[in-house]
Amino acid sequence: MCGLAGTTTVEDRDRVSVALRALTHRGPDDEGCWSDRAGAVTLGVRRLITTDPGMAANQPLISPDGRFVFAFNGYIAGHRRLISGLRDQGQQVECDSDAALFLTVLGNALRDGGDPAKALADLSGQYAFALWDCVLRQLWLGRDPVGIKPLYFSEYGSGNVAFGSEFAALRCIVPAMPDQNVFPHYLAHLFVPALATGFADIRQLRPGELICWQDGKIDSRMIRPAVRHRAAGDNTVSDLRRAIRQSVADAMDADREVGTLLSGGMDSGAIAAMASDVARERGQKPPPGFVMQFDSAEMDETPRAQQLAKHLGMELHIVAAPDRPEEILAHLNDGLRAFGSPFGNPSVVLMQALSAVVSRHVPICLAGDGGDELFGGYPRYRAAAMFGAWQSVPDFIRRKMAGNIARLLPRGGARFVRGGQGDAQRAFQYWNDRCGLAELGARLVVPEDLPDGDLCDRMMAFDRLVTLPGNQLAMSDRCGMAYGLEYRVPLLGHEVMAIAGRVAAQGHLRGGAKSLLRAAIAPMMPDGYLSAAKVGFNPPVSDWLAKLGGLLWGREARIIEMLFADLPIMDRTRQDYWRSATRHGEQDMALGLWALLVWRIWQTHLATDRRAEIKYAKGSVDGSIKAAVQAETLPEAAM
C-alpha cells in the first residue's frame, strides 16, 4: 500500500513534499514526486513495497509512450495472471507490479476514447489512484468500488484541486475549516459518512467514484463491478468455497511475508483456514496468526483462536488488549490522528494496539472484514427478518412490550421491541442509529440509490454501502497504515461478493446467521468451532468510559460538565446518563457517551492542528508543520 498526495499546480510542489513526509507511515520504503513541465500538476507517492521490489516499479509510474503519469495505492487480485495475459496479447507492461497492470488497463481505455469506469470494473482488489493525462491535460482520481482505500480532495484557489490519502497530508497543501454540521451524522453512525469529512472544504470520494479534473472543472462517474448474473442453486456452497480460496490465494500473492488475523470468529477463521491450505499447496508453512486477548473470559476469544491455530498448524501470536487509562488514551489519540476526523467506534483503540504488534512481524495481514455484511452476521438483520411477523402482533401488546417491559429484556430484545413500534422505515432508522441520546438529534445519512427490497435486504445493503466502508474498512486502513501494515480483505473480492449477492438476505439467515458461509467452510474447521456464540471485536466501553473520563477531567462532576458542555440536556439527566453508562453498564448509553468523549478530544486535535495551519499561512513548509501535524500529545489546557 502507499500514500498519495498532489495538486493541479507545480507552485505547491514544496507543500506536496511536506504532505509526503506526513505520509511516511503509509509508505516507509520509497518516495517519488513528479511535476508537469507545463506547470499543470504535481503527483507524489510514499510507497510500501509489497509487489515487485525492482526499481522499475517505483512510483509515480510513467507509461511507455510518456502520455500518462500514475500514482497508485492498493493491490489488484490476480495481477500476475492478468499481466501475463496482457503480454500474451502483445501489450507492453513495464514491470510486474499491480500498479503497472492498473496503469495499462486504464491507459488503454483512455487512448481508445472508452469509458475508464467500465474498463476498471473487472479489476478486483482495493485501491485509490491518481493519473495525469499529459495529452488531454486531465487529472483522474478514483477509489475502489467497495471503499477499502481512502482518497480525499479539496477544490481551492482558481479552480485547482489538491488530493491526499489522509487529512494530515492534504492539510499540508490546503487549509481546511472544521465542519460542525457533521455532528448529528457522526453521532448516528459513529463516523462521518461520505461525501462529508468533518471539514468544510474537504470531501472524500465515494466508494467506486471516479472523477476527472480538467481546466478547473470536475466530472464524476461510478465504477461498478461487472456482475455476471447466475441464479443461486445447489452449487452455491461449493462456488463460494472456491471463490474465497481463490481470493485468499490472490491476496497472498505478494513479495513480502503475509500474516492473518485470527479473532476466533467465523470470518477470520475462514480466511485463516483457506490461507493455511494455500500455503501448504505452495510448499510453504501456514502464515502466522494474531489474536487479541482480553482479561474478561466473556470477551476473550483466545481459546477458540488457539483451537483453530492448532488444527491448522499455525503459529499464533497473542496480543494483550489495552487496559490502563493512559494506554487506552494514547491509542485513541493515535487513531484519531490517523483518521483526522471524528471516529467514535471504540474498537479503533484495539485495532491500533493490535496493528502495532502485527506490523513488527509482517507487512501484510489478511483480515475477515465484510463477512457480517455479506453473509448476515449482525443481530439487527435477524430483527429485520422478524419484523413482518412482529407487525402482526396487536398494537397494544407491542406498545406494552416497548414500555416498562423492555427494561427487563436483554439489550437485543429491548432494541427489537422499541424499534418495531412503527413502520419499516422507523425500524430501519432506529436499528441503524448508534446514538443512545435522543435529545441530540442524531441523523442517519441514507444513500438515495439504496436498493429497494424488504427491510432485511435494505439493512444489509445499507451496511455494505455506508457502514462497511466508513467504519470497519476505514478502521483497518488507518490503523494498519499507521504502522506501514497492509490489511487485505479477501471476503470482499468481486466474485465472493457476487456469489453472496445471489442469495437474498433472509436466505443467509435461514438456519442461523451466516448459514451460507458456515456451510462453505465447515469441512475445514475443527469440531465445535462453528457452534460457539459470536463475541465480536468489542472493548468494555462502560469501563473505558469511566477510566478515560477520570484521566481527562478528574471527578465525576467535572467529567459530566465537560462531556455535556453546550448540549441541550438537563443537569439531572446528564448525571443519570453518566451513571447509567458507567455504573449500570447500559451499553447503548455508554456508546453514545463514548462518541461524545471522542468528539471532545477531536476538538483538542483541531486546536493543535490550527497552530500548524497558522505556520502554513505564513508560508512555512519546513519540518515544523510536520511536527505540529504529527504532535504526540494533547495539550493539558485543552482538556
Where is the binding site for ATP, in residues? 261
Distances (CA, A) of 33 to 4, 5, 52: 10, 9, 19
Measured distance CA(405)–CA(421) in Å, rounded: 14
Q: Which of 2, 33, 365, 435 is catalytic?
A: 2
List residues forming the annotated binding site. Answer: 98, 261
Q: How many CB atoms lie within 10 A of CB 318?
A: 15
Distance of CA 545 to the CA centre of its chain: 24
End-to-end CA separation in angstroms for the chain: 35
Q: Is residue 607 a contact partner of residue 613, using CB atoms and an 8 Å limit?
A: no
Q: Which amino acid is at 115?
A: D
Q: Which amino acid is at 372?
A: D
Residues whose CB is less than 8 angstroms from the CB of residue 603 and which lie 6 or more positions away in sequence, other chains included = 638
For the beta sheet containing 364-366, the strands, ordered from the edge strand earlier in sequence to the opposite edge, are: 316-320, 289-293, 258-261, 364-366, 486-488
Measured distance CA(233)–CA(238) in Å, rounded: 10
Measured distance CA(396)–CA(392) in Å, rounded: 11
| H or E stretch covering 31 | strand 30-35
Measured distance CA(432)–CA(3) in Å, rounded: 32
Q: Which amino acid is at 595?
A: A
List residues forming the annotated binding site for L-glutamine. Answer: 98
Measured distance CA(48)–CA(23) in Å, rounded: 11
Question: Can 365 be counted among the known catalytic residues?
Answer: no
The three-class DSSP label of residue 6 is strand
For the beta sheet containing 138-143, the strands, ordered from the edge strand earlier in sequence to the opposite edge, are: 61-62, 68-76, 125-133, 138-143, 209-214, 217-222
CB-count exposure of residue 475 (10 Å: 0-12, 13-18, 19+): buried
Dihedral, 478, 54, 127, 162 alpha carbons, nearest 10: 80
Distance of CA 100 to the CA centre of its chain: 25
Catalytic residues: 2
